[in-house]
């Protein structure tokens, strides 16, 4: 993979510090954000999460002055139903009915800028927004790996189905994004081909690894596809809850899906002698603010504090002569 690729700052590029000292900051728009959050989440929490997202966007502005990143190429679908939309995206991206790959990598490969939501905003699972022609997704990386995958697919659903449609919001938009995520991660033909009608909980727990989804998500999908009756669905949900699968994912994915772009960027910067702490200082950010943007997505830690394990080895960053 040849991206992201590095080049030195152009002499005509603006001074990154001027972004913070100048009269305007290109904030994430207050309108058009799709929040995956509890219904009663206070407005001040959402405002704070958006502000944190703006810092992430400004970091990406700084990165884009120095690295060649994938251009956004999300398909424009009109207004199909979520099931059809998921099939269309899978077809466009050449996924067929195979297991969806690392969702963070997939979003990044198609130009979505992915960052972590700080633990301070635990009430927010994720959110997505277009800033101009650039899509951003911020994920709560404190959740299980399976639920983060679903959140990423949920936000993808918003980006491709709702685009800049400000009228499509609220519970209906959330339902559509959930249905998109379910269909995107668990294609109907794949689920119907692998899971038996009336499956028991142990079969569901074994089957969920096929798609790297939560047990609850697979149970919902099976019910949606008619593999579980209403009674079987309720019974399975009760048993899964009793086993601890309502709020967690016992014996789930061993490794969290991390960022390929951000990891390669900071590897590239280190190869030029620039440390993450220097990036934070140049942008006027504290080490804590920088770490919160990267938490759970990269091995980079600013100002010490150890490292989080990445999900897989990374290839070296290619430098542009």
pLDDT, one tens digit per residue, over 105-154 is: 999 999 999 998 877 777 788 888 888 888 999 898 888 999 999 999 99
In a domain, 136, yes or no: yes
Number of domains in the chain: 2
pLDDT at 102: 96
Cis peptide before 4 (omega within 30 of 0): yes
d(CA 206, CA 140): 26
pLDDT for residue 185: 98
Structure tokens belonging to residue 107: 């979003």
Question: Do residues 196 and 226 both lie within one domain?
Answer: yes
pLDDT digits (tens, 9 = 90+) for 204-225: 999 999 999 999 999 999 999 9
Is residue 227 domain-resident? yes
* 114 and 221 part of one domain: no
pLDDT band (50, 70, 90) for residue 310: very low
Residue 125 sits in the same domain as residue 231: no
- Is residue 229 domain-shared with residue 149, that is, in the same domain? no
Taking 50 as the threshold, does the pLDDT of residue 159 lie above it? yes
Identify the pLDDT of residue 7.
42
Within a domain: 32: yes
The closest of 193, 303, 197, 212 to 251, measured between CA atoms, is 212
Instruction: For residue 34, report the phi and psi dihedrals to the nearest 5 degrees.
Output: -100, 110
Instruction: Indicate if 135 and 17 belong to the same structural domain.
Output: yes
User: Does 21 or 260 have the greater pLDDT score?
Assistant: 260
Which of 41-50, 158-167, 174-183, 190-199 bottoms out in mean pLDDT, i.e. has the lowest? Answer: 158-167
Does residue 11 surpass a pLDDT of 90? no
Do 98 and 134 fall within a single domain? yes
pLDDT value, residue 26:
65
Do the domain assignments include residue 63? yes
Q: Buried (b) or exposed (e) across 141-166, using 16+ Cβ within 10 A?
A: bbbbbbbbbbbbbbbbbbbbbbbeee
Q: What is the mean pLDDT of the chain?
A: 82
Q: Are residues 128 and 198 in the same domain?
A: no
Range of the domain at 112: 5-185
* Reported confidence tier of residue 234, pLDDT bands at 50, 70, 90: very high
Pairing mode, strands 113-117 and 134-140: parallel
* pLDDT given at position 6: 43
212, 66: one domain: no
Examine the domain organization and report whether 141 and 198 are in the same domain.
Answer: no
* Alpha-carbon distances of 124 from 114, 142, 156, 226, rounded to whole Å: 15, 11, 16, 31
Q: Report yes or no on 10 lying in a domain.
A: yes
């Amino acid at each position: 993979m040849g991206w992201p690729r590095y080049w030195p700052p152009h002499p005509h590029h603006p001074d990154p510090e001027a972004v913070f000292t100048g009269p305007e900051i290109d904030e994430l728009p207050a309108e058009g954000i799709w929040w995956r959050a509890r219904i009663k989440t206070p407005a001040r929490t959402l405002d704070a999460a958006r502000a944190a997202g703006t810092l992430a966007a400004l970091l990406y502005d700084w990165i884009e002055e120095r690295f060649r990143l994938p251009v956004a190429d999300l398909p424009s679908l009109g207004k199909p139903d979520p099931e059809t939309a998921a099939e269309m995206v899978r077809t466009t991206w050449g996924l067929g009915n195979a297991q969806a790959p690392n969702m963070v990598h997939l979003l990044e490969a198609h130009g979505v800028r992915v960052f972590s939501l700080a633990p301070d905003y635990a009430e927010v699972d994720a959110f997505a927004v277009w800033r101009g022609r650039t899509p951003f997704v911020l994920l709560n990386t404190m959740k299980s790996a399976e639920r983060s995958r679903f959140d990423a697919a949920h936000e993808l659903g918003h980006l491709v189905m709702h685009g800049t449609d400000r009228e499509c919001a609220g519970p209906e938009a959330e339902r559509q994004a959930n249905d998109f995520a379910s269909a995107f991660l668990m294609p109907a033909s794949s689920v119907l081909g692998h899971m038996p009608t009336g499956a028991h909980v142990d079969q569901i727990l074994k089957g969920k690894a096929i798609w790297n989804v939560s047990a609850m998500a697979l149970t919902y999908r099976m019910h949606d596809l008619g593999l579980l009756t209403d009674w079987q669905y309720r019974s399975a949900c009760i048993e899964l809850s009793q086993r601890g699968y309502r709020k967690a994912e016992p014996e789930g994915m061993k490794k969290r899906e991390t960022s390929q772009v951000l990891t390669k960027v900071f590897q590239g910067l280190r190869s030029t002698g620039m440390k993450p702490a220097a990036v934070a200082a140049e942008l006027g950010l504290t080490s804590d603010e920088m770490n919160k943007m990267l938490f759970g997505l990269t091995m980079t830690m600013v100002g010490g504090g150890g490292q989080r394990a990445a999900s897989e080895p990374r290839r070296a960053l290619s430098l542009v002569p």
